[in-house]
Amino acid sequence: MKMYFGFSSHTNRTLSEKEIERNALLSDLEQTKKALEIAYAGFDNVTEPDLIDCYIYEVNSVLKRYKFLMEQAAHILVLPEENENVASLNAETPAASLIG
């Protein structure tokens, strides 16, 4: 008598290149969001002019990376329902005017 278990078929499944790329992109976006939060927190907590300049450059750098990753996400079409979220995130970015 053969027994089939549905769980084992999910664990042995290999990921396609598109799924791997999508997962890597989502991971990069998450890391970039955390880096942006850290940069803003650092900016809010410094008073030394040189450190203020440093955090301004860091925030701008992370925002450019975030913008690039969002364009990549729109390019590879992450998921139809996530594309709406991607578009709304891109439009609602508070520092979009800084990137210009």
Helix, strand, coil % in the chain, rounded to nearest 5:
80, 0, 20
Report how far apart, in Å, the C-alpha atoms of 81 and of each of 40, 75, 78, 87, 88 are. Answer: 29, 15, 9, 10, 11
Q: H or E segment at 96?
A: helix 96-99
| Residue 18 scores a pLDDT above 90 | no
| Residue 90 scores a pLDDT above 80 | no
| Residue 51 scores a pLDDT above 50 | yes
Long-range contacts of 97-100 (CB under 8 A, 24+ apart): 98/59, 98/60, 98/63, 99/60, 99/63, 99/64, 99/67
Query: What pLDDT score does 59 carry?
Result: 95
Q: Tokens 């027994």, residue?
A: 3
| Residue 12 scores a pLDDT above 80 | no
Q: What percent of the chain has pLDDT over 70?
A: 63
Average pLDDT over residues 52-75: 93
What whole-number distance in Å separates Cα of residue 12 and Cα of residue 14?
A: 6
Query: What pLDDT score does 83 carry?
Result: 47
